[in-house]
Amino acid sequence: MTIGNIPKEIHQKPSCHAQMLIGYIPMTKLKGIKNKATHCHAVANLFHFCMQTLLAPLALHGETGLPMMGGDGTWCQCHPILANFIGNYCEQILVTCTYYGECPKCEVPHNQLGGCDSFPSHDYQEACRTYTLADGDVRTFHAMCRDNGIKPIFHPFWEHLPFMNIYISITPDILYQLLQGVMKHLIAWLSDLLIFRGESINTQCRLVPPNHQIVLFLKGISILSHISGKEHKNICRLLLGLVVDL
C-alpha cells in the first residue's frame, strides 16, 4: 500500500519505505488436483478468497467511513474504496472472472477485438446477482455463469465492496497492451514477405554500428521470442533506422 502522490522514483525503491506490505498471496500450484479445469477453478477461488480477506476492511469502512488525517494535519471523514485494479491481461481476466481471449471490460465479440467500434460494459449488477447463487444448487449456479459468460467463482472478492464496479475499475495495461502489443504487431508487419521480410530486417540489425545509446541485436529481431518490456524499448530506439534504407 502506498500513496498516489509520491513520485515514482521514490515509491519504487524499497529502501525509501514508501510502501507498506499488506499481505502475501499464496503462490501454490495445487499440484494435487489433476483435472485441468478443476485446477484452474481452485486456483482462481483461492486468489479471490485471499483478496476478500485482505480487502475486508474496505467493505466495512467504505460505506460507513472513518476519520483519517491528511498531510496537512486536518482530520476528515474518509470512505476508502477500491477505485481501480492495475494488472496485466491475465490478472485482469482472473479478477473480472471472464474468459481468456475476451475483453475484461466490455462485451466486444472476440472477432472484433482491436476494432474502433464501442461496446457496452459488462453488466456488473447481473454478475453480482449470478454470484449470489453460489450458495445454492451447484448445477444451477454453473449454468447461470455459463449463460452470462463468466467463470463460476465462489463469491469474487469485489462482490460486496461498496461503490464498486470491477469492469469499470480495470485500467489499460500500458506495458503489454500498448508497448509490447504495438511493437509485436509492428515487427510482424515489417517482417511480412510483402513488406520488408524478416531476413532483410535481421541483416540490417547486424549492420548497425556500435553505439552507446542503443543495444545491438546481432541475431536480428524477427526471430526473438518472449521479448521483455526492456527489450521492446531497445528495439524502439533502432527500428526506424533498420527500415529507412529498405
pLDDT at 240 over 90: no
Q: Do 122 and 168 contact (CB within 8 A), yes or no?
A: no
**Taking 90 as the threshold, does the pLDDT of residue 152 lie above it?**
yes
Please state, in angstroms and rounded to a whole number, the distance separating the CA atoms of residues 97 and 130.
12
- Each residue's pLDDT tens digit, 80-113: 999 889 888 889 999 999 999 899 999 998 888 8
Reported as a pLDDT band with limits 50, 70 and 90, residue 123 is: very high
d(CA 221, CA 188): 10
User: What is the structure's pLDDT at 48?
Assistant: 95
How far, in Å, CA of 120 to CA of 98, rounded?
15
What CA–CA distance (Å, rounded) separates 62 from 82? 9
Q: What is the pLDDT of residue 232?
A: 83
Q: What is the pLDDT of residues 176-215, one digit of tens each?
A: 777 777 888 888 888 888 889 888 999 999 888 888 888 9
Does the pLDDT at position 241 exceed 80? yes
- What is the rounded (10 degree) CA torsion for 9, 15, 20, 21? 110
At residue 184, the pLDDT reads: 82
Beta bridge pairs of residue 77: 67
Q: What is the pLDDT of residue 88?
A: 86
Q: What is the pLDDT of residue 161?
A: 93
State phi, psi for 207 to the nearest 5 degrees: -95, -5
Q: Residue 245: pLDDT above 80?
A: no
What the block records as the C-alpha cell of 29 is: 500450484
Distances (CA, A) of 142 to 47, 105, 146, 148, 226: 19, 21, 6, 10, 35
| pTM (2 d.p.) | 0.74
Cα angle, residue 137 at apex, residues 133 and 143 outer, rounded to 5°: 70
User: Residue 121 above 80 pLDDT?
Assistant: yes
Decide: 205 and 217 in contact? Cβ < 8 Å.
yes
What is the per-residue pLDDT for 27? 84
Q: Which of 41, 45, 43, 40 is nearest to 27 (CA)?
A: 43
CB atoms near residue 233 (< 10 Å) = 13
* Residue 10: how many other CB atoms lie within 10 Å: 13
Sorted by sequence, the CB contacts under 8 Å of residue 241 that are 6+ apart come out as: 204, 208
